[in-house]
């Protein structure tokens, strides 16, 4: 670097000196440069040769919302193109995703409010919606990897990821962890390839690994939402699964468990703990506004790194495109490439299907 810049300065100096002396005979517009980085961008062929990063369907995980019933899927207003799938339509969607080259889906149930309570008991019902969905997808498309979310927010009436302490002042860490471990075992037994704790309780990865192993489920992986920030970008997701209540409208937001968006070192504390506790894949979430954290994590672990391009990141690209202010496809591809370049091995994104389809069309 130093050598290069010294040579560069010298050249520039000589070239201007020379120019001054041959002013009348030489074209003033040509600099005497050794290094012209634009050479490597001259043609499309060359640009492809020197391209450092790429996003393919292999890297992408499609999150899917699930509802009970047999009928047509429901559209989600704040997430254009995304649906709440009923089980029969979920299966068709998964078959299509697999055909397009998508390797994995992450399932999120939206429950009827009548099934929710203070303690999220429905999460431990062995016939709860997400377990039926996992079994059905595994049977129909066994090659597809399934990731299930481990957190109580779809099941609690208040929308928090855990249960309240007796005083009702905070989410009780240890009681919640015990429930999450039981929930993870149910998910794994149903056929989930990875369970993905998204709750940010302390010690949950350890407790889940322990419970899975005790149940003989040694092959089920843990994709840990390790650096999950208390982000406003989850808004549309909370509409989609009906967990919006906790998002600041109740006494307590999720700030006592999710990370402060201002904190970079604390994110590394969380990821290191999850690695020690037995996580197989470490995740950063959201992705686009947290590229520095993805890069930090890439440089701090040898485990695979996942990043979650969340609902708000998806919604904002769609909203601007709808207004004609941004090009949807180009911003989609650029946003995912940036996440890849930052160091993510895999990306959970609502754009997964669109990107796979565009890739197959040779775009
Ligand atoms: C819940 C969960 C959330 C998301 C994934 N799992 C929301 C939250 O923490 O309130 C967000 C995903 C998205 O916004 O796309 N544990």
For 203-218, the pLDDT digits (tens) are: 999 999 999 999 999 9
Q: Which residues pair with 107 in a beta bridge?
A: 64, 148
Contact predicate 248/234, CB 8 Å: no
Interval between CA 238 and ligand 1 midpoint (Å): 7
Out of 116, 179, 228, 353, pick the active-site residue: 228
Going by C-alpha positions, the residue among 208, 206, 204 that lies closest to residue 194 is: 208
Going by C-alpha positions, the residue among 159, 150, 152, 272 that lies closest to residue 211 is: 150
**Is residue 125 helix, strand or coil?**
coil
Ligand 1, residue 309: give the atom nearest the CA: 15
Full DSSP string of 193-204: SEEEE-S--TTH
Instruction: Provide the pLDDT confidence category of residue 363 given band limits of 50, 70 and 90.
Output: very low
Active site residue 323: no
Pocket test for ligand 1, best of 116, 156, 161 (most atoms within 8 A of CB): 161
Q: Which residues pair with 223 in a beta bridge?
A: 281
Residue 88 has pLDDT above 80, yes or no: yes
Residue owning the nearest CA to atom 14 of ligand 1:
234
Q: Output the CA torsion sign for 152, 301, 63, 142.
A: negative
Residue 7 has pLDDT above 50, yes or no: yes
Ligand 1, residue 154: give the atom nearest the CA: 1
Query: How many Cβ atoms sit within 10 Å of the Cβ of residue 322?
Result: 11
For 242-290, the pLDDT digits (tens) are: 777 665 444 568 999 999 999 999 999 999 999 999 999 999 999 999 9
Helix (H) or strand (E) holding 346: strand 346-349
Instruction: Provide the pLDDT confidence category of residue 95 given band limits of 50, 70 and 90.
Output: very high
Omega cis (within 30) before 286:
yes
For 100-136, the pLDDT digits (tens) are: 999 999 999 999 999 999 999 999 999 999 999 999 9
Interval between CA 11 and ligand 1 midpoint (Å): 55
Contact predicate 176/161, CB 8 Å: yes
Report the pLDDT value the prediction gives residue 249, as an integer from 0 to 100.
Answer: 45
How far is it, in rounded angstroms, from Cα 350 to Cα 115? 27
Interval between CA 85 and ligand 1 midpoint (Å): 18
How far is it, in rounded angstroms, from Cα 204 to Cα 186? 15
Pocket test for ligand 1, best of 66, 130, 151, 247 (most atoms within 8 A of CB): 151
The chain-wide mean pLDDT, for the chain, equals 93
319: its two tokens? 């909203």
For 29-87, the pLDDT digits (tens) are: 899 999 999 999 999 999 999 999 999 999 999 999 999 999 999 999 999 999 999 99
Q: Which residues pair with 164 in a beta bridge?
A: 171
How far is it, in rounded angstroms, from Cα 208 to Cα 192? 14
Out of 116, 285, 340, 353, pick the active-site residue: 285
Residue 10 has pLDDT above 80, yes or no: no
Ligand 1 pocket at CB < 6 A: 149, 151, 153, 161, 198-199, 234, 237-238, 243, 310-311
Active site residue 228: yes
How far is it, in rounded angstroms, from Cα 57 to Cα 232? 28
**For range 351-361, the mean pLDDT:** 93
Interval between CA 265 and ligand 1 midpoint (Å): 22
For 164-223, the pLDDT digits (tens) are: 999 999 999 999 999 999 999 999 999 999 999 999 999 999 999 999 999 999 999 999
Interval between CA 108 and ligand 1 midpoint (Å): 9
């Amino acid at each position: 670097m130093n050598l290069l810049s010294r040579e560069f300065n010298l050249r520039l100096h000589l070239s201007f000196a020379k120019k001054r002396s041959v002013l009348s005979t030489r074209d003033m517009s040509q600099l005497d440069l050794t290094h012209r980085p634009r050479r490597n961008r001259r043609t499309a062929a060359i640009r492809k040769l020197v391209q450092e990063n790429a996003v393919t369907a292999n890297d992408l995980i499609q999150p899917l919302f699930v509802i009970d019933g047999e009928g047509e899927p429901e559209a989600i207003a704040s997430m254009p193109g995304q649906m709440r799938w009923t089980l029969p339509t979920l299966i068709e969607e998964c078959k299509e995703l697999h055909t397009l080259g998508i390797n994995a889906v992450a399932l999120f149930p939206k429950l009827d409010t009548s099934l929710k309570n203070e303690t999220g008991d429905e999460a431990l019902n062995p016939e709860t919606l997400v377990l039926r969905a996992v079994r059905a997808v595994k049977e129909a498309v066994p090659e597809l990897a399934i990731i299930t979310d481990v957190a109580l927010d779809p099941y609690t009436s208040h929308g928090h990821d855990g249960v309240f302490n007796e005083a009702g002042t905070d989410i009780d860490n240890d009681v919640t962890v015990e429930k999450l471990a039981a929930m993870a075992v149910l998910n794994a037994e149903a056929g989930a390839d990875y369970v993905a704790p998204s709750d940010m309780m302390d010690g949950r990865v350890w407790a889940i690994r322990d419970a899975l192993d005790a149940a003989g489920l040694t092959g089920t992986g843990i994709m840990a939402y390790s650096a999950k920030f208390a982000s406003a970008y989850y808004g549309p997701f909370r509409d989609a699964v009906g967990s919006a209540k906790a998002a600041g409208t109740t006494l307590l937001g999720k700030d006592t468990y999710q990370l402060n968006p201002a904190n970079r070192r604390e994110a590394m504390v969380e990821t290191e703990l999850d690695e020690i506790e037995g996580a197989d894949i470490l995740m950063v979430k959201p992705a686009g506004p947290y590229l520095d954290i993805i890069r930090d994590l890439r440089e701090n672990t040898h485990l695979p790194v996942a990043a979650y391009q969340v609902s708000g990141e998806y919604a904002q690209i769609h909203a601007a495109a709808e207004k004609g202010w941004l090009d949807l496809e180009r911003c989609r591809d650029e946003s995912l490439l940036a996440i890849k370049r930052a160091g993510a091995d895999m990306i959970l994104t609502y754009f997964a299907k669109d990107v796979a389809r565009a890739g197959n069309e040779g775009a």
